[in-house]
Amino acid sequence: METSFLYRISFESLTAHKLRTFLTMLGVIIGVAAVVAMLSIGEGAKQEALEQISILGINNVIVNAKVPQMINGSDVGLQRSPGLSLADGDNLREFPDLVENVVPQRFEPISTIFYHGNEAPVRVVATTPNFVYSSSIEVEEGRFVSELDIRDFSQVCVLGAKAKRALFAFDDPIGEKVRIADLDFVVIGVMADKYIGRGKVEGLELKNLNEDVYIPFTTAQKKLERAKAQTEFVHRHFIASSSEGGQAYNTPEIDQLTITVTDLKYVPAVTSLVERILKRRHAGVDDYDILVPESLLRQSQKTQQIFNIVMGAIAGLSLLVGGIGIMNIMLASVLERTREIGVRRAVGARRIDIMRQFLIEAVTICLLGCAIGIALGLIISRGISFYAEWPTIVSAFSIVLAVGVSTAVGLIFGLFPAHKASKLDVIEALRYE
């Protein structure tokens, strides 16, 4: 029997009972839609995690100052540590084969800057020219802080994209003066807009870099007061506050060191080196945190892999249920069409032809359900992205997987009904009422 003829009679059989055919493929539709939607969520989360970690710099090792804990309820010994300082960075620069760049940063306790009648919530960051080589953001307009600015204690600043929009809207800010604390700073550049997403990855909350305003490190040292009073750690930054008691530890000279490694393979070695140097220089006082974006990336990928497996398994259960539904309906169809099968066999149809007909019907149901399920999965993923503001990415892999699994479900769960139909006795089938 010709294959085209088998396809035609299979299609006629399916369209003769449209509602039953739709209900049969409903399990496949739901299963495929779930697979596509779940994998799109997982892929979107994976991509966002990669972007978030890239903000920190995959080749970087980051050291943050923090408030040290009292040892056994006593603050004795905390003053032995000078706190995070420029000297820590100088020690790390002595290993040029491993360390390419060391950038200090100091976060000033200034939350708002002004331009005429406008104001913008910001984070004022005092840093050096090498910052742009260790950062994932670039200068979009003008220039960054230069060595000349560092040497001359220049009152210049570079605005983050959000800060620029809040103060100047669509006007050109280059050359204008903004008010930072009690000083006027000339705007020399604007940083490119950087997407931050939800600002959290692997439990680490990321600051919106678009709100940062960069000034020369030496200018902050000389012209902005670094409080010597008691400090408290808020959002990973030291902010001056008053206290009745004395200070139990030294105020850190800087708040963050970013160490750029010459090669990604050296990141573990440099991390160990940083730990040893800081432990020695800080007399064992735990007044710093070491953050390794490369380790965060591996952890994020492992977590995402587990998430995808769990979500895929849950979605796969729907396909399994759909496959069982197909087998049940096909068995009922065999029983209902017993006389038809007997007639076909009597006029010359072979057992293999009967088997192929029922397999074609099962696979066709699955593929039609797969097509509808893919469309539904795309709609669901877009809806999640729009309403939940969760990034979703529909990959080619999820589509190929859905089609492959659907075809396999049709073959596996259609095989038994097809085999049963092909084994029917011709005489008994013709006599069936």
pLDDT (tens digit per residue) in 28-44:
888 888 888 888 887 88
Provide the whole-model pTM: 0.66
Burial class (CB in 10 A: 0-12, 13-18, 19+), 24: buried
Domain that holds residue 374: 3-53+299-431
Structure confidence at residue 3 (pLDDT): 65
Confidence of residue 199 (pLDDT cuts 50, 70, 90): low
362 and 266: one domain?
no
81 and 21: one domain?
no
- State yes or no: pLDDT of 75 exceeds 60: no
Q: What is the pLDDT of residues 378-389, one digit of tens each?
A: 998 888 888 877
283 and 334: one domain?
no
127 and 207: one domain?
yes
- State yes or no: pLDDT of 203 exceeds 70: no
pLDDT mean over 224-251: 49
250 and 343: one domain?
no
179 and 286: one domain?
yes
Q: What percent of the chain has pLDDT over 90?
A: 23
Q: What is the pLDDT of residues 391-427, one digit of tens each?
A: 788 888 878 877 887 788 888 888 888 888 888 777 7
Last residue of a domain, one of 293, 318, 349: 293
Structure confidence at residue 153 (pLDDT): 93
348 and 420: one domain?
yes
Q: What is the pLDDT of residues 279-319, one digit of tens each?
A: 888 888 888 888 888 777 777 777 777 777 777 777 677 77
User: How many domains does the chain fold into?
Assistant: 2
227 and 281: one domain?
yes
Which one of 57-61, 129-133, 332-336 scores highest in mean pLDDT? 129-133
Last residue of a domain, one of 266, 293, 320: 293
Strand partners, 256: 64, 105
148 and 104: one domain?
yes
pLDDT mean over 330-336: 79
340 and 369: one domain?
yes
Last residue of a domain, one of 260, 293, 326: 293
Q: What is the pLDDT of residues 6-21, one digit of tens each?
A: 667 777 777 777 887 8
